[in-house]
């Protein structure tokens, strides 16, 4: 089996378009820069990523509850959080021919010493100016000063402003967390690399509230938990690393942050940030709202403002990483096949049911099998084109199992069950198929790219 690292961003973008995972947004109008629309398989894949996140952080734990806060929030939120003042990137513009805009910090990362020049045309660059990344809009019919609101640039603040509500109704006490998945918006200066950095994206965030003295321990806990999540879902450990932030990189609120980085085709880049935010957010919101945001122990009377550990991941970035990691090419019987070796739990479709020929009762039998299977798991029934062509399509969308109905099925009720990665074909009774696939789906899985 090939274990090449064949993935390039161009190949991933092409596959996404070819198989209907992700399209350029508003394509018929020429597209809108760096915004993307998810098609059928993309929606299924990304919702599986989010479902696995919910499973790991809420379903399989006793100490995290869910929240879904509105995207539009009271504008004071952003004053309190520091975003109005400080959520900026240093923007420089080319003063030469091309006039392109760049993030100075990114240019500086690539060239730590000496004078910076425009990477496009070599022109001189303007002095940096701070550019606020929040999208503004107006609420109500009149565009006046008091009607200005912002599209949230992170989901985190929706959690902090609900701290009191959740504490009251969830019957939790620190250490406990609140988890949320939702859209965030940032007017990025240089969105790039497909869905890696876009202006509209989905985040999966947890704010985990702890007694102040325990913050270090819980930071460590979440670093380990989140690394485990990515590797259990199939990312190769040698393509993942933890990178602690240097002191000069830390955000205004953070006493320690480590990024989980993945080796994307364009190099090591952030997948998730895990920050120790101290009591910054609750203290700020208490100050601005004049609400007490603290924990009071009903037994001892002890009161404190909890410290916060924040694992903050991007659903789109994670989806991209899973696709990149799964992408493979190999020669099978003299033909090249492209295959997404996705973890079966992430695969958009778990099983494809294919009649070998379109006659002799095979399509009808295959359809019966499909109707039984799809009650158990996402399944597809496909009669279009040669069997080889249909399997190539399923390989490219990462379907882990294929069931072929052939003339023998009509005689003895058995089908062939094909494995996407090993290409092994086993003969199995139709009646055992559902149970066998459920067993395989629940079993631990190891990426075949790991030798």
Instruction: Say whether residue 258 binds ligand ATP (CB under 6 A).
Output: no
Instruction: Say whether residue 436 binds ligand ATP (CB under 6 A).
Output: no
Residues between 322 and 381 with contacts to ligand ATP, criterion CB under 6 A: none
| Span interacting with ligand ATP, options 14-22, 237-245, 313-321, 370-378, rule CB under 6 A | 313-321
- Distance from C-alpha of 114 to C-alpha of 109, rounded to nearest angstrom: 12
Strand partners, 262: 240, 269
State the nearest-atom distance from the C-beta of 314 to ligand ATP, in Å: 2
| Residue-wise DSSP of 123-188 | --BPPPEEEE-PEEEE-SS---GGGEEEE-S-SHHHHHTTHHHHHHHH---SSEEEEEEEEEE---
Contacts with ligand ATP: how many residues (CB under 6 A)?
16
| Span interacting with ligand ATP, options 3-11, 229-237, 239-247, 268-276, rule CB under 6 A | 268-276
**Residues in CB range of 114: below 8 A, 6 or more apart:** none
| Residue-wise DSSP of 268-305 | EEEEEEEEEEETHHHHHHHHHH-----EE-TTT--EEP
Pick the binder of ligand ATP from 21, 36, 53, 201 (CB under 6 A).
Answer: 201
- Distance from C-alpha of 345 to C-alpha of 445, rounded to nearest angstrom: 9
Instruction: Say whether residue 312 binds ligand ATP (CB under 6 A).
Output: yes
State the nearest-atom distance from the C-beta of 187 to ligand ATP, in Å: 9
Instruction: Say whether residue 198 binds ligand ATP (CB under 6 A).
Output: yes
Residues 349 and 378 sit within 8 Å (Cβ to Cβ): yes
- For residues 270 and 329, which CB has a smaller minimum distance to ligand ATP in the complex? 270
- Distance from C-alpha of 410 to C-alpha of 75, rounded to nearest angstrom: 67
| Span interacting with ligand ATP, options 107-115, 213-221, 271-279, 349-357, rule CB under 6 A | 271-279
- Distance from C-alpha of 336 to C-alpha of 423, rounded to nearest angstrom: 14
- For residues 182 and 314, which CB has a smaller minimum distance to ligand ATP in the complex? 314
Q: Which residue is nearest to ligand ATP (CB)?
A: 314
Instruction: Say whether residue 193 binds ligand ATP (CB under 6 A).
Output: no
Q: What is the CA radius of gyration of the chain?
A: 25
Backbone φ and ψ for 379, nearest 5 degrees, come out as: -135, 160
Instruction: Say whether residue 182 binds ligand ATP (CB under 6 A).
Output: no
**What number of other Cβ atoms are within 10 A of residue 183's Cβ?**
13
Residues between 123 and 162 with contacts to ligand ATP, criterion CB under 6 A: 154
- DSSP run (H or E) holding 109: helix 104-110
- For residues 316 and 396, which CB has a smaller minimum distance to ligand ATP in the complex? 316
Phi-psi region of 224 (alpha: psi -120 to 50; beta: other; left: phi over 0): alpha
State the nearest-atom distance from the C-beta of 147 to ligand ATP, in Å: 26
Secondary structure of residue 26 in the 3-state scheme: coil
Instruction: Say whether residue 270 binds ligand ATP (CB under 6 A).
Output: yes
Pick the binder of ligand ATP from 93, 155, 193, 203 (CB under 6 A).
Answer: 203
Helix 9-18 with 315-326: angle, nearest 10 deg? 100
Pick the binder of ligand ATP from 7, 16, 233, 313 (CB under 6 A).
Answer: 313
State the nearest-atom distance from the C-beta of 6 to ligand ATP, in Å: 24
Query: Taking Cα atoms as reference points, which of 314, 324, 220 lies closest to residue 264?
Result: 324
| Span interacting with ligand ATP, options 78-86, 109-117, 234-242, 306-314, rule CB under 6 A | 306-314
Instruction: Say whether residue 188 binds ligand ATP (CB under 6 A).
Output: yes
- Distance from C-alpha of 276 to C-alpha of 28, rounded to nearest angstrom: 44
Instruction: Say whether residue 197 binds ligand ATP (CB under 6 A).
Output: yes
- For residues 186 and 390, which CB has a smaller minimum distance to ligand ATP in the complex? 186
- For residues 317 and 345, which CB has a smaller minimum distance to ligand ATP in the complex? 317
State the nearest-atom distance from the C-beta of 189 to ligand ATP, in Å: 10
Residues that bind ligand ATP (CB under 6 A): 154, 186, 188, 197-198, 201, 203, 270-273, 312-314, 316-317
């Amino acid at each position: 089996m090939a274990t090449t690292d064949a993935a390039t961003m161009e190949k991933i973008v092409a596959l996404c378009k070819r198989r209907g995972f992700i399209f350029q947004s508003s394509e018929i109008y020429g597209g809108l820069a760096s915004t993307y629309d998810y098609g059928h398989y993309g929606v299924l894949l990304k919702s599986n990523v989010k479902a696995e996140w919910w499973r790991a952080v809420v379903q399989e734990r006793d100490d995290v509850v869910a929240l879904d806060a509105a995207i539009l929030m009271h504008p004071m939120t952003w004053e309190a959080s520091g975003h109005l003042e400080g959520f900026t990137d240093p923007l420089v513009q080319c003063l030469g021919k091309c006039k392109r805009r760049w993030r100075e910090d990114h240019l500086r990362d690539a060239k730590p010493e000496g004078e910076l020049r425009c990477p496009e045309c070599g022109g001189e660059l303007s002095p940096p100016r701070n550019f606020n990344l929040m999208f503004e809009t107006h609420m109500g019919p009149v565009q006046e000063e008091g009607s200005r609101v912002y599209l949230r640039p992170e989901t985190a603040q929706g959690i902090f402003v609900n701290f009191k509500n959740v504490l009251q109704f969830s019957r939790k006490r620190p250490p406990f967390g609140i988890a949320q998945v939702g859209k965030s918006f940032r007017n990025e200066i240089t969105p790039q690399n497909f869905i890696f950095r876009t202006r509209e994206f989905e985040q999966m965030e947890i704010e985990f509230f702890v007694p102040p003295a325990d913050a270090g321990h819980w930071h460590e806990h979440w670093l380990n938990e989140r690394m485990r999540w990515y590797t259990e879902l199939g990312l190769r450990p040698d393509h993942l690393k933890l990178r602690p932030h240097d002191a000069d990189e830390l955000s205004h609120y953070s006493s320690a942050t480590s990024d989980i980085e993945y080796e994307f085709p364009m190099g090591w880049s952030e997948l998730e940030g895990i920050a120790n935010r101290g009591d910054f957010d609750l203290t700020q919101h208490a100050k601005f709202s004049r609400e007490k945001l603290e924990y009071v122990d009903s037994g001892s009377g002890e009161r404190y403002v909890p410290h916060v550990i924040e694992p903050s991941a991007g659903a789109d970035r994670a989806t991209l990483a899973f696709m990149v990691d799964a992408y493979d090419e190999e020669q099978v019987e003299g033909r090249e096949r492209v295959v997404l070796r996705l973890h079966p739990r992430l695969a958009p479709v778990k099983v494809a049911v294919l009649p070998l020929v379109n006659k002799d009762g095979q399509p009808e039998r295959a359809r019966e099998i499909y109707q039984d299977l799809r009650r158990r798991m996402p399944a597809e029934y496909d009669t279009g084109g040669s069997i080889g062509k249909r399997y190539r399509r399923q390989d490219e969308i990462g379907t882990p199992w294929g069931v072929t109905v052939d003339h023998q099925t009509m005689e003895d009720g058995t089908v062939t069950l094909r494995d996407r990665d090993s290409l092994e074909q086993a003969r199995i009774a139709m009646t055992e198929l559902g149970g066998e696939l459920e067993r395989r789906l629940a079993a631990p899985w190891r990426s075949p790219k790991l030798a």
